Amino acid sequence: MNDVYTLIIIPREDAKRFSTIPGVKNTILITGEMQMLVLIKLDPTAKILLHSHINEQVGICLKGKVEFLTEEGPVVIEENMSYLFKSNEKHGCRPLSKEGVTLLESFSPPRADFLTLVK
C-alpha cells in the first residue's frame, strides 16, 4: 500500500472569517478531516450563551482572562491556561479583561455549522 501525504498550508490572510454573535470574531485557521483550528477574538462586551455541540473542544487562552460558564458553575481561565469541553458538555463564556480575550481552539470533529457559514 502506498500512502500519499499532502501538507496543507493556509496563509493567515486566506483564513476564513465569520461572526454569528456580536463582539465575537472567528477565524478558521485550518480544517482537516478530524479537527478544526479556530482563532476566536472576544470584544470586552461579548457574551456566548450556554450551549453544547457534538464536537470536543480544546483551547488555550492566548490573551486576557475569560469566565467560562458551565453547568457546575463559573470557571476563570487566564492567559496560557488550557481547557477542554467534552462532546455535548454545556458551556458559554464572557471576557473579564477590559481589552477582550483571544482564544485558540480546536474542534473534533470539525464544526459543520462553522464550515457552512464560510462557504
CATH number reported for the structural domain that contains residue 56 in this entry = 2.60.120.10
| Local confidence band at 36 (pLDDT 50, 70, 90 cut-offs) | very high
Asked if residue 10 belongs to a domain, the reply is no
Q: Is the pLDDT of residue 55 over 70?
A: yes
Find out whether 99 and 64 touch, Cβ atoms under 8 Å.
yes
Asked if residue 72 belongs to a domain, the reply is yes
Q: Give residue 96's pLDDT.
A: 98
Q: Report the domain count for the chain.
A: 1
Angstrom distance (rounded) from CA 79 to CA 118: 28
What Rg value do the Cα atoms of the chain yield, rounded?
A: 15
Place of cell 461572526: 19
| Domain containing residue 51 | 15-117
| Local confidence band at 75 (pLDDT 50, 70, 90 cut-offs) | very high
| Local confidence band at 38 (pLDDT 50, 70, 90 cut-offs) | very high
Q: Give residue 2's pLDDT.
A: 56
This prediction has a pTM of 0.93
DSSP lists the bridge partners of residue 76 as 67
Residues 31-54: what's their mean pLDDT?
A: 97
Asked if residue 2 belongs to a domain, the reply is no
